């Protein structure tokens, strides 16, 4: 009877260990705002967005007939960084956020007026409407390209609520794992070798189960070819997926090494007893 209960507890321990790693991964990688912001830094998201926006602005300048000096300094990398960080914080706090277009419109209007004064040009009513349309288009382009806040808002995910639920699940799973190990020890209190074997088998099985997704992804999917929304967003997703895959490489290896150590120690103790 003890052996059957121990087998059931070992099987349950595998399930809870796998669940614990999955929930911890979600908590540390997806729901940790510091980790998300670190990924943005790793892929040079702000600098790449700055270059992309300036290229798009230049295309509008060519169509308008104005000199490209007009778009100089209407945005900076720091502006983009501040805007994106504010967007991300609003998403994680489940708050509404609107991209600030006022500064870019103000700077662009000032540059256009300075350019016209330097070149002694005066605009007629039609040209003024054209300039107003140009400013509106560039500010709208900035709003849509700097960060897909509208796209994310449509998903309508309450990350704050999810984060609270994940924290509760994380603590609960730690307790469950502790309780299962405790019962394994109690049931086999007179035979520490069996306890080490059961825990070792649980860790070994969990390690192989957790490593399986990494093997599947490496052989079946081409992560680096992901292309979603635009190149900058795709780089973020690729970097995030690779981080998760690395997580499911390191943790399973730790489990397997610990399992081997426990089984080895159990074997040595068994030989010593014999």
CA angle 43, 44, 46 (to 5 degrees): 130
User: pLDDT value at position 20?
Assistant: 95
Confidence of residue 153 (pLDDT cuts 50, 70, 90): low
Give backbone dihedrals phi and psi of 268, rounded to 5 degrees, phi first: -65, -45
Q: What is the domain extent for residue 181?
A: 2-38+158-273
Same domain, 57 and 115: yes
**Six-digit token pair at 234?**
């795709």
Indicate if 78 and 183 belong to the same structural domain.
no
Tell me how far apart the alpha carbons of residues 239 and 259 are, in angstroms, rounded to a whole number: 30
Q: Are residues 33 and 51 in the same domain?
A: no
- Of the residues 155, 172, 191, the one at which a domain ends: 155
The more confidently predicted of residues 270 and 200 is 200
pLDDT band at 229 (very low <50, low <70, confident <90, very high): low
Distance CA 254, CA 261 (A): 11
Question: In this predicted structure, what is the pLDDT of residue 117?
Answer: 82
Residue 154 has pLDDT above 60, yes or no: no
Of 103, 127, 155, the residue that ends a domain is: 155
What pLDDT is attached to residue 14? Answer: 95
Question: 105 and 62 in one domain?
Answer: yes
Average pLDDT over residues 131-160: 74
**Mean pLDDT in residue range 98-125:** 82
**Residue 89 binned pLDDT confidence (cut-offs 50, 70, 90):** confident
- The pLDDT of residue 156 is 58
Distance CA 7, CA 187 (A): 11
The reply to whether 208 and 193 lie within a common domain is: yes
Nearest to 6 by CA among 172, 190, 173: 190
Number of structural domains, the chain?
Answer: 2
Q: How confident is the model at residue 150 (pLDDT cuts 50, 70, 90)?
A: low
- Give tens-digit pLDDT for 56-83: 888 777 776 677 788 888 888 998 898 8
Of 155, 174, 201, at which residue does a domain stop?
A: 155
265 and 237 in a common domain: yes
pLDDT category, 241, cuts 50, 70, 90?
Answer: confident
Is residue 239 very low, low, confident or very high in pLDDT (cuts 50, 70, 90)?
Answer: confident
Q: How confident is the model at residue 270 (pLDDT cuts 50, 70, 90)?
A: confident
Same domain assignment for residues 128 and 230: no
Does residue 105 surpass a pLDDT of 90? no
225 in the same domain as 144: no
- Measured at the CA of 173, the angle between CA 171 and CA 177, to 5 degrees, comes to 120
Q: Are residues 199 and 240 in the same domain?
A: yes
The Cα–Cα gap between 231 and 237 comes to 10
Whole-model pTM: value is 0.82
The whole-angstrom separation of Cα 99 and Cα 143 is 6
Question: 185 with 254, same domain?
Answer: yes
Q: Quote the pLDDT of residue 10.
A: 93
**To which H or E segment does residue 23 belong?**
helix 2-25
151 lies in the same domain as 163: no
The verdict on 135 and 213 lying in the same domain is: no
């Amino acid at each position: 009877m003890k052996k059957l209960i121990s087998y059931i507890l070992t099987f349950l321990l595998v399930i809870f260990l796998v669940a614990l790693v999955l929930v911890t991964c979600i908590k540390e990688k997806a729901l940790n705002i510091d980790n998300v912001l670190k990924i943005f830094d790793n892929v040079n998201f702000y600098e790449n967005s700055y270059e992309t926006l300036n290229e798009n602005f230049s295309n509008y300048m060519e169509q308008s007939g104005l000199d490209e000096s007009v778009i100089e300094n209407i945005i900076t990398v720091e502006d983009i960084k501040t805007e994106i960080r504010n967007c991300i914080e609003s998403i994680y706090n489940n708050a509404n956020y609107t991209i600030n277009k006022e500064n870019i419109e103000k700077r662009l209007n000032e540059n256009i007026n300075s350019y016209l004064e330097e070149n002694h040009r005066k605009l007629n009513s039609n040209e003024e409407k054209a300039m107003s349309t140009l400013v509106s288009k560039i500010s709208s382009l900035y709003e849509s390209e700097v960060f897909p806040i509208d796209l994310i808002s449509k998903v309508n995910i309450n990350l704050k609520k999810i984060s609270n639920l994940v924290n509760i699940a994380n603590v609960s799973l730690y307790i469950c794992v502790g309780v299962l190990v405790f019962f394994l020890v109690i049931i086999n209190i007179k035979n520490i070798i069996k306890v080490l074997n059961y825990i070792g088998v649980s860790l070994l099985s969990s390690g192989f189960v957790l490593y399986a997704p990494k093997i599947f992804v490496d052989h079946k999917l081409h992560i680096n070819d992901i292309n979603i929304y635009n190149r900058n967003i795709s780089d973020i997703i690729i970097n995030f997926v690779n981080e998760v895959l690395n997580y499911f490489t390191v943790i399973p290896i730790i489990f397997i090494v610990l399992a081997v150590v426990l089984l080895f120690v159990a074997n040595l103790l068994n030989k010593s007893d014999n």
